[in-house]
Amino acid sequence: MDTNYEERNKAQIIRQDARNCFVESRSDAFEIGKIHFEFATYDTSKDKGKRQTNHVHIYLDVSEFYGLAHMVLHGHIHGTMSQYKRIIKEIEDYKSANSNQLSSELQEKQKQINKPLFQSLGGTSADKLRQSGRERPDGMSLSRSIALSVGGKVDYLLCAESGPGQADAKGLIVPKYGNSPEQRVSVAMNWQALNEIMLITKTHYEAWLAAKYTAEFGGNHKTQSNPQKNQAQQEPSPDNIGDSTNTDDIDLF
C-alpha cells in the first residue's frame, strides 16, 4: 500500500474527470473558512513523475461557495445555461443563413453569453509571497481565478487560471496576464457532474462543521459565537495545504 498516496488523498472529497484533466474538492481548508478546489491536467504518455502539465489551486470563501452551490442545486444556473444554449443555436443558424454576419441584436446576445455564469478572483499578494519565501521572479502578486461558463459540446466548462496579478485598492488580486495565464485547466462537465461536486462538497462541509461544534461545545447549550468569525482569511500556506501537492504521482488511470 502506498502510504504517501493514502495520506495525500485523505482530504479528497470528490473528483470529476474530463479528457486529460480533473478537478477535485478537498476538505483541507475548512478550518480557515475556505473550500479548496484542485485542478490539474496531465499527459499519460510521459514518464511517471512528469505527467502533470498544469496545476491550479482555488480557495473559495465558504459563503461564496454556498452562493454558487445554491444557484446550481436550485436550478438557476441550469436554467440560464439552457437559455444560453438556445441563443448559441440561434446565432449559429443566423450565421449559416447570412454568411456569418450577425444582426446588432444577436451581437448583443453574443456578448451576454460570452460572460461567465460565475467567476471569482483570488490569489496571494506580493507582500504575503515575500513573507512566506515564495516571491515571484517578477515581484508581482499571484492571481488565481475560477469561472463557470457554458460549453459548446458540453453543458459547462469549469476553468481555473493562475498567473501574475496586482492588488487593487480593495486588496483584490486582479489578473495581469491578459489571455496568457501561466497555468490553465478547463474541465468539461454535464449538469449532473456539476450538481454532484456542489452537493457532495456542501454535505462534507456541513458534516465537518457539525463535528466541530460537537467537539468544541459538547453538551453546552449556551449560545456560542460563530467559530469561523475570527478565522484568518489569508491564503493557505503551501507547506501545509495545497501548493506543495504533487499530482504527478496521483493515480491518473
Nearest to 32 by CA among 202, 206, 241: 241
Question: What pLDDT is attached to residue 63?
Answer: 97
Domain locations along the chain = 9-212+235-247
Give the three-state DSSP class for 222: coil
Per the document, the length of the chain is: 253
Task: Name 67's Cβ contacts closer than 8 Å, sequence gap at least 6.
Answer: none
Question: What pLDDT is attached to residue 33?
Answer: 96
- For each of the chain's 253 residues, which pLDDT tens digit applies? 455 556 667 899 999 999 999 999 999 999 999 999 999 999 999 988 889 999 999 999 999 999 999 999 999 999 999 999 999 998 888 888 887 778 888 888 888 889 999 999 999 999 999 999 999 999 999 999 999 999 988 999 999 999 999 998 888 899 999 999 999 999 999 999 999 999 999 999 999 999 999 998 876 655 555 555 444 444 454 444 555 444 444 444 3
DSSP 93: H
| Spatial distance between the Cα atoms of 43 and 248, rounded to a whole number of angstroms | 10
Question: What pLDDT is attached to residue 226?
Answer: 55
Question: What pLDDT is attached to residue 50?
Answer: 86
Question: What pLDDT is attached to residue 126?
Answer: 93
Residue written as grid cell 444577436: 106
The DSSP-derived string for 4-64 is HHHHHTTTEEEEEEETTEEEEEESTTGGGTEEEEEEEEE-TTSPTTS-EEEEEEEEEEHHH
